[in-house]
Structure 1
Amino acid sequence: MLFNSFEFVVFFVIVFSLYYKSYNNLKFQNTLLLISSYVFYGWWDWRFLSLILISSVSDYIIGKAIDENSNKIQRKRLLILSLFINLGILGFFKYYNFFTESFTDFIALFGFESNPLLLKIVLPVGISFYTFQTMSYTIDIYRGKMNSNKNLLQFMTFVSFFPQLVAGPIERASHLLPQFNKKRKFDVFEFKEGAKQALWGLFKKIVIADNCAFYANQIFENSDSYPGSVLVIGVIFFAFQIYGDFSGYSDIAIGISRMMGIDLMQNFKSPYLAENIQDFWRRWHISLSTWFRDYVYIPLGGSKVDSSLRRSLNIIITFTVSGFWHGANWTFIIWGALHSLFYFIQTAYSKNLNTVKILPASLVKVFNITITFIAVTFAWIFFRAESFTHAISYISEIASSTILVNPLSYFKEMGSSIQPIIIVISLIYLSVFEIANRNASYSFQVGHYRTPVKTLIYCSLLLLLIFFRATNGAQEFIYFQF
């Protein structure tokens, strides 16, 4: 079930109406949320509900056992069991074919042939998200950072909470789980603010992401037919497609949750205004980057290790693993590794820049933001490409003399001449709010504008949503495949 579908509107109206009619009954509210979440997820494929059930029940039991056990060895064994179950399910469905094919290709280099058994299975939607969410729960209990939850209903609701179930944010149990232990009453202010946030998310998805996708998909899928100038524009379109798509989903999830009295963490914070790669990852998919920081980077030793080589290795591992999290393809691994390379270049550049201050601080800031955006956009080529060969071919064409070819005639052949203009206007619209709310808690705040201006903003958003939803239909979100 898609947030931008008519089915979801009907679904949410029914759930929301029943939800607040029972505000005095916490158990009923949580039961309703649990059933609604299972219906929401089962809308894609009801068979995969068993995976959520296994993760929920096993981590509830294991978390409770870890909390009640004082023996360090037994606690560690229980944690390993939890990790084995979660990573085993994730690895089987997401990475089995990748490892099998990679091993087959490797032994072929030495003259050995193999006929591997490949599985024809569909990747369960959102499995990477809810798996990491439940894993952090048992790890935090093992570390003594929180106590286990004794209420199975509340825990299962935490794991399957439908607004953020299939594409995040990846919530920590310490933040989200206690909220299912409190009665939620209707709050007019929170409802209105949540609705605004959801509206802004729908704008990012339907108006920006889906329109950018129209061109980005055509260009990437037929990259050998276009000159370098068109390919440059194609990857820029993809940069805004994936941002509008994914941050749009997060905004909708946060907004819907807020309407229901549940607070979710901020997942994006104007990432394309980042001044360096480290700053970018403080702003992009924040729930994932902080997850890898707390559960991969710091356990490896983080930046506290004595050896600079070991510190660099920790950074490379963290970025590379985060790339692999996104998909079972070498392109994602290279994408993650590229970000570690950019991080090292940025660190060296920053040290040298501090010794020579020639330009004004404002110009240095603009320069840093521009360079960071170019680096991030370059890496998106590997993220979007079908294979390593495709990515190299794409980059080679950009680096050729065809980058000087006028791209306008090619875009006229692709579709409507008005669509690129709409995209540019929408991106300007987006940029204004991104700059205005660069460090705000929520990405869409218009409270400081006068009432006529606010009315104009809301009406323009609604008109654009209605028009492009009717034109493009309900398109899936990119991160459903991860």
Structure 2
Amino acid sequence: MLFNSFEFVLFLPLSFLLYWFVFKKHLKAQNFFLLAISYLFYGWWDWRFLSLIAFSSLVDFIAGQQIEKSSTKARKKLFLWISICTNLGFLGFFKYFNFFAESFADMMNMIGVQANPWSLNVILPVGISFYTFQTMSYTIDLYRGQMKAEKDPIAFFAYVSFFPQLVAGPIERAVNLLPQFKIKREFTYEQGADGMRLILWGLFKKVVIADNCALFVNEVFANYQSASGLELILGAVFFAFQIYGDFSGYSDIAIGTAKLFGFNLMTNFRTPYFSRDMAEFWRRWHISLSTWFRDYVYIPLGGSRVGKGRAVFNTFVIFVVSGFWHGANWTFIVWGALNAIYFLPLLLMGKNRKNTDTVAENRFLPNLKELWQMGTTFALTCLAWVFFRANSIVDANNYFFEIFQSEFLPSNFSLFKYYLPIIFLPFILIEWKIRSKGFNSTVKIQNVISRIAVYFLIVIFLIVYGNFNQTEFIYFQF
């Protein structure tokens, strides 16, 4: 079920009313109801994969019980690895089986051994990359002694399948989200208003920004051999806006929807395109994933508190693994490695924690230095996004080649029919306004007329420029 679908328009208010007016008095009944509607929400795509998420939840629930009960470290580690191997096994099979089979065949052919790739017609379950990482955080934190095992299976199963963030994040930690299923929840006007604001802003990002950008981006990447240099540059820039509007829009809707049910999810994006270097960008982009890899992979490897050589190795590991997490294609691995190369100079010079504040703090406009830093960081990001978007490394390389080989100006400049220059301006201005606190900061506008004007402007752009073709979110494929 898509957030931008007619089905969700019916599903959300009906679930909201039942949740607060029928099941409010009994916490376990509320949790069971959340579990039921979450399975309904997930099963809307393909009901067969409900057994997969249920089995994964069951394995981690039992593993958690055994980790807490075990008296020896070896036994605790055994059940931890049962959890990790089960989750990564499912993820590896459904997402990477064909990739490894085809890559092995290609490698054998390169050394003169004839090999035919053996592939399966495997359907990728929606959200498997997200909920497997979420369940692994539970057993890892249990093993580390950072939390107690959950005794209530309904609460645990509801935590794993919580529908707002189930299929595309944020990737919640058990220590943050699971306890919220154990306490009585009360609906407040402030939380409801915050939720509706975030849903509105997320919907704007998706159907106005991302889906309109997609029209131009898809055309350019599909026909890059015949596109002009300017169109190719704009294709990369608009893809940067597309993937940000699409993914952060989903996160906003997810966080806002969770608020309507009395839950607080972590912030997943903090206006990353206003970053002044790549280290700051990765502190602001897909925060739930980058912090997951930091806490469960990078720091256990030694992080940056090791020798320079090992720190460089750890950096490449974390970025390449992050790239591979996104998909079974060498383009994602190159994208990750390229971001590691961007990050390394900052790490080696000790400047990776330099820009931890908000750009142009307490100022309306950035200075020239900040403007230059944001511009170069955005340009490097767009360059890497080409590999992320291209179908193959060959296509990505040819895309860059065509920028310099083709005529710079197009013969038929059709950009303006997509209204992108018009809708970009208010989007960028609002993003700049909320760069330090997020969209909820609009509630701080004391002038009622100004506050209503912001909402009215967003609604007008949704009506006039919204693309309501129920386009799937990009990160559903990951």
TM-score by length of 2: 0.94
| Residue matched to 1:406 | 409
Structure 1 equivalent of residue 474 of structure 2: 478
Give the equivalent residue in structure 2 for 1:396: 401
Check conservation: 1:141, 1:147, Cα contact below 8 A: yes
Once the two structures are TM-superposed, the CA of residue 435 in structure 1 deviates from its matched residue by 1.6
The code of the aligned residue for 1:465 comes to: L
CA distance in 2, matches of 1:374, 1:337: 17
- SS of the residue 1:182 aligns to: coil
Corresponding position of 1:178: 179
Counterpart for residue 115 of structure 2: 114
CA–CA distance in 1 between the matches of 2:274 and 2:465? 27
Q: Report the equivalent of 1:358.
A: none
1:447 aligns to 2:444 (yes or no):
yes
Give 1:349 shift. Answer: 7.4
1:259-289 CA-to-partner distances (Å, cap 9, x unmatched) read 1110000000000001111100110000000
Q: CA deviation at 1:443?
A: 6.0
Q: 1:32 to 1:123 in 2, by over 3 A?
A: same
Q: Match for residue 357 of structure 2? A: none
Q: Does the 8 Å CA contact 1:230/1:410 hold for their aligned counterparts? A: no
Letter in 1 for 2:304: S
- Within 1, Cα distance between the matches of 2:417 and 2:393? 34
Residue 427 of structure 1: CA displacement?
Answer: 1.8
Q: Deviations over 1:440-470 (max 9, x none)?
A: 154662532522222222122223223444x
> Structure 1 CA distance, aligned partners of 2:350 and 2:70?
48
Q: Give the one of 386, 390, 411 matched to 1:385.
A: 390
Who is 2:25 aligned against? Answer: 24
Question: Residues 424-463 of structure 1: matches in 2 within 5 Å?
Answer: 424-442=421-439, 445-448=442-445, 450-463=447-460
Q: How does 1:33-44 map to 2 (within 5 A)?
A: 33-44=34-45
Quick check: 2:38–2:161 contact (8 Å CA) kept in 1? yes
Q: For residues 35 and 180 of structure 2, what CA distance do their matches in structure 1 show?
A: 14
Q: In structure 2, what is the Cα distance between the partners aligned to 1:475 and 1:443?
A: 26
Return the alpha-carbon distance in structure 1 between the equivalents of residues 121 and 322 of structure 2: 25
- In structure 1, the residue matched to 2:418 is 419
Q: Tell me if the contact between 1:200 and 1:444 (Cα under 8 Å) persists in the aligned partners.
A: no
Match of 2:244 in 1: 243
Distance 1:107 1:227 in 2: 39
Q: Please name the residue that 2:335 is paired with.
A: 335
Q: Deviations over 1:408-467 (max 9, x none)?
A: x4342x7xx4423xx223222121122222121546625325222222221222232234
Counterparts of 1:196-345 in structure 2 under 5 Å? 196-305=197-306, 307-345=307-345
Partners of 1:196 and 1:444 within 8 A in 2: no
Task: Write the letter of the residue equivalent to 1:197.
Answer: L
Query: C-alpha distance in 2, partners of 1:442/1:67?
Result: 40
Structure 1 residue identity aligned to 2:472: E
Q: 1:443 to 1:431 in 2, by over 3 A?
A: farther
Structure 2: distance between partners of 1:182 and 1:466:
39
Q: Cα 1:203–1:20, aligned 2, differ >3 Å: closer, same or farther?
A: same
Structure 2 stretches lacking a partner, 5+ long: 355-365
Residues 174 and 350 of structure 1: is their aligned pair in 2 closer, same or farther, counting only changes over 3 Å?
closer
Q: Which residue of 1 aligns with 2:58?
A: 57
Aligned-partner residue type, residue 431 of structure 1: I
Give the Cα–Cα distance (whole angstroms) in 1 for the partners of residues 203 and 446 of structure 2.
Answer: 21
> Do the aligned partners of 1:201 and 1:247 also contact (CA within 8 Å) in 2?
yes
Distance (whole Å) between structure 2 residues aligned to residue 251 and residue 201 of structure 1? 5
Asked if 1 retains the 8 angstrom alpha-carbon contact of 2:201 and 2:439, the reply is no
Amino acid at match of 1:455: I
Q: Is the 8 A contact 1:204 1:244 kept in 2?
A: yes
- Residue type matched to 2:328 in 1? A
Confirm or deny: 8 A CA contact 1:269 1:443 kept in the other structure.
no
The alignment partner of 2:437 has SS state of coil
Q: 1:236-277 CA distances to partner (integer Å, 9 max, x unpaired)? A: 110000000000000000011111110000000000001111
Q: Residues of 2 paired with 1:73 and 1:216: CA distance?
A: 52
Report how far residue 362 of structure 1 moved.
3.1
Per-residue deviation, residues 194-227 of structure 1 (Å, max 9, x unmatched): 1011000000000000000000010001111112
**2:442–2:451 CA contact under 8 A, matched in 1:** no
Amino acid aligned to 1:185: E
Tell me what 2:358 maps to. Answer: none
**Segment of structure 1 superposing worse, 428-437 or 59-68:** 428-437
CA distance, structure 2, for counterparts of residue 193 and residue 435 of structure 1: 19
Q: Indicate the residue corresponding to 2:362 in structure 1.
A: none
The answer as to 2:472 corresponding to 1:466 is no
Letter in 2 for 1:299: P
* Distance in 2 (alpha carbons) for counterparts of 1:466 and 1:130: 34
Identify the range of structure 1 (425-434 vs 236-245) with the bigger mean alpha-carbon deviation. Answer: 425-434
Deviations 1:369-401 (A, max 9, x none): 111101111000000000000000001112336
Aligned length: 465
C-alpha separation between the residues in 1 aligned to 2:470 and 2:462? Answer: 11
The Cα RMSD (Å) is 1.8
Q: Distance in 1 between matches of 2:458 and 2:30?
A: 32
Counterpart AA for 2:382: T
2:412 is paired with a residue whose SS is helix
Q: Quick one: which amino acid aligns to residue 173 of structure 1? A: A
Q: Percent identity?
A: 51
The 1-side partners of 2:276 and 2:101 are apart by 40
1:370 paired with 2:375, answer yes
SS in 2 for 1:207: helix
